[in-house]
């Protein structure tokens, strides 16, 4: 190859189109940003017994609702049960939010490891070091 020659010239007219690639990357970035905003705006509930926990689509806690009269604030066992139910309800809501995120972002991640929807069969795995 001579100096100053474009290495992609060998691909011919149907070869590498950098502008198309950049345009495609821009569209994917816009779609990803829109999906992330929809997730941040979404709300998902998890319920265990008399406790309902609400998280947004990215798993951030948005609220806790208790059924009136369900717990005795003067009884240690009742308060311990309340704490356990809040944790369990949060885990339920977070699992639902994670599933929603995987569904919303999976196609946009394109099977990239470390992204929701990534680590699919046949996709390269991300090493943990």
Tell me whether residue 120 is in a domain. no
Helix (H, G, I), strand (E, B) or coil at 98: helix
How many domains are there within the chain? 1
Report the CATH number at residue 87: 3.30.1310.10
Q: How far is CA 102 from CA 5, 14, 35, 68, in A?
A: 44, 35, 11, 35
Is residue 129 included in any domain, yes or no?
Answer: no
Given a contact cutoff of 8 angstroms between Cβ atoms, the answer to whether 32 and 90 are in contact is no
Query: What's residue 78's pLDDT?
Result: 92
- Residues 43-58 pLDDT 10s: 999 999 999 999 998 8
> Which residues form the domain of 56?
43-98
pLDDT: is 117 or 129 the higher one? 117
Q: Is residue 64 part of a domain?
A: yes
Residue of 101, 1, 83 whose CA lies nearest to 44: 101
C-alpha span between 51 and 12 (Å, rounded): 65
């Amino acid at each position: 190859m001579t100096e100053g020659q474009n290495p992609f010239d060998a691909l011919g007219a149907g070869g590498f189109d950098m502008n198309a690639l950049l345009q495609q990357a821009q569209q994917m970035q816009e779609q990803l940003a829109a999906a992330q905003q929809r997730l941040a705006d979404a709300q998902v509930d998890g319920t265990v017994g008399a406790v309902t926990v609400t998280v947004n689509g990215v798993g951030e806690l948005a609220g806790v609702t208790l059924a009136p009269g369900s717990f005795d604030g003067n009884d240690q066992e009742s308060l311990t049960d309340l704490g356990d139910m809040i944790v369990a309800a949060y885990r339920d809501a977070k699992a639902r939010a994670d599933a929603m995120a995987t569904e919303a972002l999976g196609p946009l991640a394109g099977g990239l490891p470390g992204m929701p929807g990534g680590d699919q069969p046949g996709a390269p795995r991300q090493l943990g070091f």
